[in-house]
A and B are shown apart, each in its own frame.
Chain A
Amino acid sequence: EDKVVQSPLSLVVHEGDTVTLNCSYEVTNFRSLLWYKQEKKAPTFLFMLTSSGIEKKSGRLSSILDKKELSSILNITATQTGDSAIYLCAVNHGSSNTGKLIFGQGTTLQVKP
C-alpha cells in the first residue's frame, strides 16, 4: 500500500530555534515530493522536489530529497511565531501522470515567542 509518513507529528519550539521536519514514503513509480504549509485554511505550496540531493531554498526554509532513503526533510532556521502551522508532505506517484497526491499526516509546528 502506498503511504507517506511524517515525523514528528507535533513540535513546540521557541523563536530563533532551527527545526527539521521529516517525510518518508513508500510508493510505486515516484514522480515528485511536495511540501505545503497549512494555516487556518488550505495548504500553500512551498517546494516541489524531483531530484535527489538538490536543495531547494526559500528564505529561511529549505528542503532536500533523498531518493535512496525514500525521504525528504524540511528545515526552518531562525523560526518565527508566523511559522506556526501544519506542514504537509505529499507525493505524486503512478505510472500515468495523473497528478494524484498522497498526503502524510502532517507535522504541527508551534513556535513560542
Chain B
Amino acid sequence: GAVVSQHPSWVICKSGTSVKIECRSLDFQATTMFWYRQFPKQSLMLMATSNEGSKATYEQGVEKDKFLINHASLTLSTLTVTSAHPEDSSFYICSARAPTGTPSGYEQYFGPGTRLTVT
C-alpha cells in the first residue's frame, strides 16, 4: 500500500517560535495532500488542501497566515505553524490522495502524525 511519512513525529517549541512539519508520499506521487489537526478525544478536522504548484485552499476559520502550506513537489508538502502559541498544541496529520483509477474512487493515506507541544 501507499506510504506517507511525516517529520518530525513530535516537537516541543517555545511560544512565539515557528515550526515546520513535512509530509512525504514515499512510493507514489500526490498532486493533492491534506492537513488535519486532531485534539484529544476528538475527530480529525480538515485544515487545508494542498495542491502541488498552487496555493493551498484553507477551510473556514483556519488562518492562512498562521498555518503556511507549501506543496513544492509531487511528493512533499510542508506545514509551518508560525508564531506558535500554546493553543496551537495539537496532533497534526497529513494525508495524500492516491487515485484508484475509478471515476469516483480514490484512497487517502495518512501520515503517522506530528505531536506539537507549545510551551
Contacts and interface: CB of A to CB of B under 8 A. Distances in A.
Contacts, number: 61
Interface residues of A, number: 24
Contacts of A76: none
A32 interface: yes
B1 A45 contact: yes
Interface residues of B, number: 26
A88 to B, nearest CB: 6
Interface of B: 1, 6, 32, 34, 42-46, 49, 57, 93, 95, 97, 100, 102, 104-113
Q: Which secondary structure characterizes the binding site on chain B?
A: strand
Contacts of B111: 42
Scoring B43, B100, B113 by chain A CB atoms within 10 A of each residue's CB, the highest score goes to B43
B112 A32 contact: no
A88 B110 CA distance: 13
A92 to B, nearest CB: 8
A42 to B, nearest CB: 4
A43 B4 CA distance: 12
21 contacts: A32-B105, A41-B112, A41-B113, A42-B110, A42-B113, A43-B44, A43-B93, A43-B110, A45-B107, A45-B109, A88-B44, A92-B106, A97-B104, A98-B49, A99-B34, A100-B46, A100-B49, A101-B46, A102-B46, A103-B45, A106-B43
